[in-house]
Structure 1
């Protein structure tokens, strides 16, 4: 395959290749080198000049030189890439129109099966960027895109007033670097975040108008997904989200104690500092000592020592009792 993919004919390519090695040559020179008639070579040289692949010098007879291939052919490649990009965008718009038309003509079609990773990523992007009121989500591994890769876009949506309610699975919170690099910045920008020890599925709901869920949570199951339109199925997913939301433990940005809190007076139990609140939240979400250590950048031994100190302060013997005691004190 040569330059014909760029719109050049075989004869134009042959003349250009010859011209590259024969600067300042005439049409007759090229005709002899390429084994063609001089009028034909003249027309092809004029076409190369028109397309920016050659330059003509004044004089009789005119002489021709090839433009630098990296510049001239590179420009053709860039132009073709631009055209292909426009074609892809047109296909995407037509595809969305086709999906919507199909759904309208088949109102019983409550779900679409997406079987391409790019289609899934595009559907999630379309749901989140198209939201005008609220995005609700279950966040848990496995992931199609790198966790946190959409942070900037989410922060921008939150600045425009789109609410985000996200329930994180404990494995999502324990994902290395995820808490401080992604979850906490989202919370500080206004995200309402909660955590559950385990979520039943991955889920994104946009404005109560559409949702997306994976085909399966088994290995490789994220390579297919269902796009759910307005239907009883969507209502059921919304109800599932709200039920999990009520049971989930709130996550805060772990940066400050509660607003308006005052230092404990003599004989009063102290208010927990930021690290203690973080530790309690992670304990309540069911993270193991090793997972908490990874999340906070502590050693496992340091994590166990802090948990033991907290249990001693609260007078508890188990993690469950610690959570209850902390809740009674208003620490959770």
Structure 2
């Protein structure tokens, strides 16, 4: 029957469903309605009382009333969900142990499959926490963890001398609040950041030992991932990162502290660097705290000053004047 999954046998369910329509019934009345013996009905009613699915009066003979199904059965469902969550957690721990045991037996195994949000998040945190020299990453949506949630951990690693080099996809820079609340604070604390219009995939490399990449580039592919150990595949991923790093435009902290007397004012420098990074008008307005109209007016004024017909030309002219690193 339908409630078997909650640990209720067929006879128990039959008594409960009968009692729902016969409140304040004795065991003999329930037995008659169910077509069973009074002793069997009394035993099953006791089970229902212990499970919180029925109440028993203090009268003689006792009378039984079913608990409200939408409350009592929902509580049973929630308890079973808690048990299933505990089982899933155990399975995940056993899976990690199993993978590590396999690697001990087969050190040449280069790739592990990670499945599910928690496995992927745990693996990324594990390899980044274990890094001793550098972390290299491609950052692009969609995300497993909330963007910015790892900022304090990153700052801690950088204080110990771990270098962070990150190439951001333009979509990551355009993510609401991301540039102001996460990327620029990371740069201020020592992160080396660059931007490309489009990255081929997400990637995290810890030292030259481990990497995590998505299982698939299709929608939903970020919910499974590969953990890559030291191997020719990891060497290829390192080469890919370095090639994209060379192509990307630097992204620096452009706040007032970054201005120099021989350069334009900090707002203009900020605008030039954000344009060179490929940021949209919306992202620039959000980062600088300008309205969209003010942003467009400033961009147009900058292009006129530089004699540029396009945003790309404006960035190129600014680079020639030494406004970009």
Secondary structure of 1:308 counterpart: helix
Distance 1:218 1:67 in 2: 48
Tell whether the 8 Å contact from 2:120 to 2:225 is kept in structure 1 after alignment. no
Task: Show CA shifts across 1:30-52 (max 9, x none).
Answer: 00111111010010011111112
Secondary structure of 2:211 counterpart: strand
Moved more, 27-36 or 217-226: 217-226
Cα 1:197–1:47 change in 2 (3 A) is closer
Gaps of 5+ in 2: 286-291
**Is 1:296 aligned to 2:288, yes or no?**
no
* Residue 206 (structure 1) shift: 3.1
Distance 1:38 1:241 in 2: 75
Distance 1:221 1:88 in 2: 21
**Is 1:322 aligned to 2:322, yes or no?**
no
Tell whether the 8 Å contact from 1:127 to 1:211 is kept in structure 2 after alignment. no
Partner of 2:153: 157
Distance 2:92 2:47 in 1: 35
**Is 1:283 aligned to 2:281, yes or no?**
no
Tell whether the 8 Å contact from 2:274 to 2:284 is kept in structure 1 after alignment. no
**Is 1:210 aligned to 2:223, yes or no?**
no
Moved more, 125-134 or 241-250: 241-250
Tell whether the 8 Å contact from 1:205 to 1:211 is kept in structure 2 after alignment. yes
Tell whether the 8 Å contact from 1:121 to 1:144 is kept in structure 2 after alignment. no
**Is 1:272 aligned to 2:262, yes or no?**
no
Task: Show CA shifts across 1:41-96 (max 9, x none).
Answer: 01001111111211222232122122222332222111100000011111111222
Distance 2:220 2:39 in 1: 62
Cα 1:57–1:230 change in 2 (3 A) is same
1:180-191 to structure 2, matched below 5 A, reads: 180=180, 182-187=182-187, 191=191
Secondary structure of 2:61 counterpart: coil
Distance 1:295 1:152 in 2: 17
* Residue 125 (structure 1) shift: 1.0
Partner of 1:307: 302
CA RMSD of aligned residues (A): 3.3
Tell whether the 8 Å contact from 1:4 to 1:10 is kept in structure 2 after alignment. yes
Secondary structure of 2:149 counterpart: helix
Partner of 2:289: none
Distance 1:136 1:206 in 2: 7
Q: Given the two structures, how large is their TM-score scaled by the length of structure 1?
A: 0.77
Moved more, 91-100 or 219-228: 219-228
Tell whether the 8 Å contact from 1:110 to 1:231 is kept in structure 2 after alignment. yes
Tell whether the 8 Å contact from 1:210 to 1:227 is kept in structure 2 after alignment. yes
Distance 1:81 1:292 in 2: 45
Distance 2:38 2:8 in 1: 19
**Is 1:54 aligned to 2:50, yes or no?**
no
Cα 1:281–1:139 change in 2 (3 A) is same
Number of residue pairs aligned between Structure 1 and Structure 2: 307
Task: Show CA shifts across 1:6-33 (max 9, x none).
Answer: 0001111111112122222110010011
* Residue 234 (structure 1) shift: 2.7
Task: Show CA shifts across 1:118-150 (max 9, x none).
Answer: x2644541233223245421124xx3437xx52
Cα 1:256–1:121 change in 2 (3 A) is farther
Partner of 1:136: 136
* Residue 165 (structure 1) shift: 3.1
Moved more, 200-209 or 14-23: 200-209
Gaps of 5+ in 1: none
Tell whether the 8 Å contact from 2:110 to 2:230 is kept in structure 1 after alignment. yes
Partner of 1:97: 97
